[in-house]
């Protein structure tokens, strides 16, 4: 089925470790975004991309890097994990003014 | 700073009741979207409203975009347990989509 695929679904990291959350979409969407969702905080934008080779910061970019080398893939890198990055991370993609299609999320715990 | 304020934050009602959820902002949006999210899943798009004053209906759900394109409401008629979930509004300020904190709805039989 077409959609947005996120891996892994669950991850536990130690403070200071680095990792990459993977996101891939097969709908040829131009826009892709990463959000984090925390209780009582809603969805907050981390980074977004309007096309291959173009990325920009969202509301809470510190501690995260992204790249967009292809239309399909938009990985999110945690450089040095901190307990404050414990969250559920969602990747989403859209085309033009259409609504976002979200992945099923990655639940990350940093201990 | 939260661009979009949703109210109420929590809502618990019985099956058959009507309810309205509000989404307010001081910003003007090019369009506004409503999503529903169930536990353990990503949000799923319900509707996009584009024109000020626009009203869209999706079965028992009625969505309205304010005349000034700053606010929106979601009205559910005769709520059912299957309506339970987190309802999120999101305002489009291209190229970004800004979400409210959501309204958590519980409908009990």
At B42-74, the pLDDT tens digits run 999 999 999 999 999 999 999 999 999 999 999
Interface probe with A: pick from B42, B44, B104, most Cβ of A within 10 Å: B42
Q: What H or E segment, with its residue span, contains residue B24?
A: strand B19-24
Q: What is the mean pLDDT of residues B86-96?
A: 90
Contact B27, B3 (CB under 8 A): yes
Chain A CB contacts of B95 under 8 Å are 31, 48, 50
Does the beta carbon of B58 lie under 8 angstroms from any beta carbon of chain A? no
Q: Which residue of A has its CA nearest to B48?
A: A99
Question: Residue A18: how many CB atoms within 10 A of its CB?
Answer: 11
Cβ B30–A97 below 8 Å, yes or no? yes
Report how far residue B14's alpha carbon sits from residue A2's, in angstroms, rounded to the nearest whole number: 36
Q: Which residues of A72-105 are buried (b: 16+ CB within 10 A; e: fewer)?
A: bebbbebeebeeebbbbbbbbbbeeeebbbbbeb
pLDDT range class, residue A90, cuts 50, 70, 90? very high
Which of A40 and A8 is assigned the larger pLDDT?
A8
pLDDT range class, residue B1, cuts 50, 70, 90? low
Region of poorest pLDDT, from A87-91, A96-100, B96-100: A96-100
Q: pLDDT value at position B82?
A: 95
Cβ B99–A90 below 8 Å, yes or no? no
DSSP B72-104: EEEEESS--GGG-EEEEEEEEETTEEEE---EE
Q: What percent of chain B has pLDDT over 90?
A: 86
pLDDT range class, residue A1, cuts 50, 70, 90? low
Residue-wise pLDDT for A46-88, tens only, equals 999 999 999 999 999 999 999 999 999 999 999 999 999 999 9
């Amino acid at each position: 089925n077409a959609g947005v695929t996120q891996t892994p679904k669950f991850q536990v990291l130690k403070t200071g470790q680095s990792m990459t959350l993977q996101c891939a979409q097969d709908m040829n969407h131009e826009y892709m975004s990463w959000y984090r969702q925390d209780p009582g905080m809603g969805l907050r934008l981390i980074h977004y991309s309007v096309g291959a080779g173009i990325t920009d910061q969202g509301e809470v970019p510190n501690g995260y890097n992204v790249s967009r080398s292809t239309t399909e893939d938009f990985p999110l890198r945690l450089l040095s994990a901190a307990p404050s990055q414990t969250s559920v991370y969602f990747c989403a993609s859209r085309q033009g003014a259409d609504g976002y299609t979200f992945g099923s999320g990655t639940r990350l715990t940093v201990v | 700073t939260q661009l979009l304020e949703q109210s109420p934050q929590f809502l618990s009602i019985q099956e058959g009741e009507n309810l309205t959820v509000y989404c307010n902002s001081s910003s003007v949006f090019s369009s506004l979207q409503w999503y529903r999210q169930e536990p353990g899943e990503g949000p799923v798009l319900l509707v996009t409203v584009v024109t000020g004053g626009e009203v869209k209906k999706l079965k028992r759900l009625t969505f309205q975009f304010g005349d000034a394109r700053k606010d929106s409401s979601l009205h559910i008629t005769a709520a059912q347990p299957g309506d339970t979930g987190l309802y999120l509004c999101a305002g489009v300020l291209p190229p970004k989509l800004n979400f409210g904190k959501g309204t958590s709805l519980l409908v009990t039989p």
